[in-house]
Structure 1
Amino acid sequence: MLLLGHRGTPRLHPENTLAGFRAALEAGLHGVEIDVQPTSDGQLAVHHDPHLTSGRRLREHTLEELRLEKPDLPSLPEVLRWFAGSGAALLNVELKNETDRNDGREALLVQALRDVPLGGRVVVSCFHPLSLQRLHALDPELRLGYLTSDHPASKELQALAAPPPLYSVHPHFSTVTSETMQAWHARGLKVFAWTVNDPLEAQRLAELGVDGLIGDLPDVLRGAAPHAATAAR
Structure 2
Amino acid sequence: MKRTFLHGTARWLAGGCCPCLLAGMLLAGGAAQAATPARDLDLQAHRGGRGLAPENTLAAFANAMALGVTTLELDIGLTADDVVVISHDTALNPDHTRDATGAWLPRTGPTLRSMTLAQVQGYDVGRLNPASNYGKPFASQKPRDGERIPTLAALFALVRERGDGKIRFNIETKVDPTRPDDTAAPESMVHALLAEIDKAGMAQRVTIQSFDWRTLALVGRWAPQLPRAYLTTARTLRDSRWTLGLSAADFATTPLLVQAASAGGNAPVIWSPAFNNLTAAQVRQAHALHMTVLPWTVNRRADMARLLDMGVDGLITDFPDVLRDLVREREAAPPAGGG
- The two structures have a TM-score, normalised by structure 2, of 0.62
Distance 1:57 1:162, change over 3 A: same
Deviation track 1:150-185 (CA, whole Å, cap 9, x = no partner) reads 399886347388855552111111132111101111
Distance 1:88 1:72, change over 3 A: farther
Q: If you compute each CA radius of gyration, which structure gives the higher value, 1 or 2?
A: 2
Q: 1:19 aligned to 59, 65, 82, which one?
A: 59
- SS class of match (2:230): strand
For residue 94 of structure 1, what is the amino acid of its counterpart? E
Q: Distance in 2 between matches of 1:220 and 1:162?
A: 33
Q: Distance in 1 between matches of 2:261 and 2:303?
A: 37
**Does residue 1:124 correspond to 2:208, yes or no?**
yes
Q: 2:171 aligned to 93, 111, 116, which one?
A: 93
Distance 1:68 1:223, change over 3 A: same
Q: Report the Cα offset of residue 137 of structure 1.
A: 1.4
Q: Distance in 2 between matches of 1:184 and 1:227?
A: 27
Match of 1:113? 197
- SS class of match (1:190): strand
- SS class of match (1:107): helix
Number of residue-to-residue matches in the alignment: 232
Q: 2:157 aligned to 78, 81, 94, which one?
A: 81
Q: Report the Cα offset of residue 82 of structure 1.
A: 2.4
Match of 1:3? 43
Match of 1:199? 301
Structure holding more strand per residue: 1
- The two structures have a TM-score, normalised by structure 1, of 0.88
**Does residue 1:61 correspond to 2:145, yes or no?**
no
For residue 8 of structure 1, what is the amino acid of its counterpart? G
Decide which moves more: 187-196 or 5-14. Answer: 5-14
Q: Distance in 1 between matches of 2:88 and 2:275?
A: 19
Distance 1:161 1:89, change over 3 A: closer
Gaps of 5+ in 2: 1-40, 95-104, 125-146, 247-259
Q: Distance in 2 between matches of 1:134 and 1:116?
A: 20
CA contact 2:203–2:226 (8 Å) conserved in 1: no
CA RMSD of aligned residues (A): 2.7
Match of 2:313? 211
Decide which moves more: 194-203 or 98-107. Answer: 98-107
Q: Distance in 2 between matches of 1:56 and 1:227?
A: 45
Distance 1:68 1:119, change over 3 A: closer
Match of 2:87? 47
